[in-house]
Amino acid sequence: MMNTDAMNEQNGRVKALVACGFGINCEAETAAAYRMAGAEAQIVHLNRLFSRDVSLHEFDILHLPGGFSFGDDLGSGKVLANKLRYKRMSDGTPLWNELLRFIHNGNYIFGICNGFQALVKTGLLPNISGGFEQEVTLATNQSGIFEDRWCRIVRNSGSASPFLGALSTIELPVRHGEGRLIARDDGIRDAIRRLHLDCLQYCDEAGKPTNRYPLNPNGSDLDCAGLSDTTGRILGIMPHPEAFLSFCNHPDWPRLARENRHSHSQDDGHGLQIFRTIVAHIHTSKCKERSEKMS
């Protein structure tokens, strides 16, 4: 009987596992984003991974959506991070071992908002040391309040993350109380800057990164709105691309349409670009790998 890895290899379509449960609440629109981008998306309660009812290795990308996992009572994403790192599956194997194998096999992980918080607290991001130690955190916004607004973000021109491609300046909504990225020390901060891991930054109307409130809604180090690991295959961002899949999701879309200021198709919102980019990248990579094995 063909194992799941072999079955996934034969199927050229990109497969996304969108996690749910424990207070995660953006799984439906996230799955819709992957499907609109041409991928297969399956919403899976994390308990099904722990019980081995579903194998992580059937998928190309693991997505941790936004929400309020475990009510954020011990710091946003911390309990979820501990569960991912230390919880054992039904056969006694730590899920963490499966996550590391998933990464080693060249797969992708994407976390948004609460998912981003969990990724930094597991040590999966930015993982500069290679030892999966926690090197940064996402702390309470400098404003001291929950920020619910639209903001501009710009791709760091030095970033080679396959999630972002040729992305320039886009608008996305933020909705978080703990989105302020803080590096553990100056060495980590300098390495993030030097390696261009601060792949997305809050910016002004001219596309210049800024720490000015409210353009920067939380006061993050390096004006950071999105962080990648050193491979580029793991990405975490605070703004919500899954909330801007259609042009009409934008609160100012009637005026933008009248002024002809929307540079993309009338059907696509800025957030969909990120999902289209990573799905296309994974699909191309899978086709290339399959071709090389057949030659």
Q: Where are the domains of the chain?
A: 11-294
Q: State the pairing for strand pair 108-112/61-64.
A: parallel
Give the whole-angstrom CA distance, residue 204 versus residue 153.
8
Give the whole-angstrom CA distance, residue 197 versus residue 143.
25
Does position 263 have pLDDT exceeding 80, yes or no? no
Give the whole-angstrom CA distance, residue 144 versus residue 77.
18
Does position 249 have pLDDT exceeding 70, yes or no? yes
Percent share of the chain, pLDDT over 70 = 94
**Res. 1 pLDDT band, cuts 50 70 90:** very low
Query: What average pLDDT does range 167-180 have in this prediction?
Result: 96
Could you report how far apart the first and last alpha carbons of the chain are, in Å? 24
* Cβ(34)–Cβ(18) below 8 Å: yes
- Tell me what pLDDT residue 294 has: 73
**Res. 292 pLDDT band, cuts 50 70 90:** confident
**Comparison of pLDDT for 233 and 287, the residue scoring more:** 233
Residue listed under structure tokens 């210049």: 208
Per-chain mean pLDDT for the chain? 92
Residue listed under structure tokens 């060495």: 187
User: Residue 170's closest CA among 150, 148, 154?
Assistant: 154
The active-site residue out of 63, 176, 240, 250 is 240
**Comparison of pLDDT for 259 and 95, the residue scoring more:** 95
- Tell me what pLDDT residue 295 has: 67
> In the annotation, is 240 catalytic?
yes
Query: What average pLDDT does range 246-266 have in this prediction?
Result: 76
pLDDT tens, residue by residue, 88-110: 999 999 999 999 999 999 999 99
Alpha helices (H) along the chain: 4-10, 27-36, 46-50, 78-86, 95-104, 114-122, 186-194, 253-258, 270-294
The active-site residue out of 26, 27, 63, 113 is 113
> In the annotation, is 113 catalytic?
yes
Query: What average pLDDT does range 254-276 have in this prediction?
Result: 79
Q: What residues are paired with 203 via a beta bridge?
A: 209
The active-site residue out of 20, 242, 250, 270 is 242
User: Check: CATH 3.20.20.70 for 11-294?
Assistant: no
**Res. 11 pLDDT band, cuts 50 70 90:** low
Does position 3 have pLDDT exceeding 70, yes or no? no
- Tell me what pLDDT residue 231 has: 96
pLDDT tens, residue by residue, 51-71: 999 999 999 999 999 999 998
> In the annotation, is 242 catalytic?
yes
- Tell me what pLDDT residue 253 has: 84
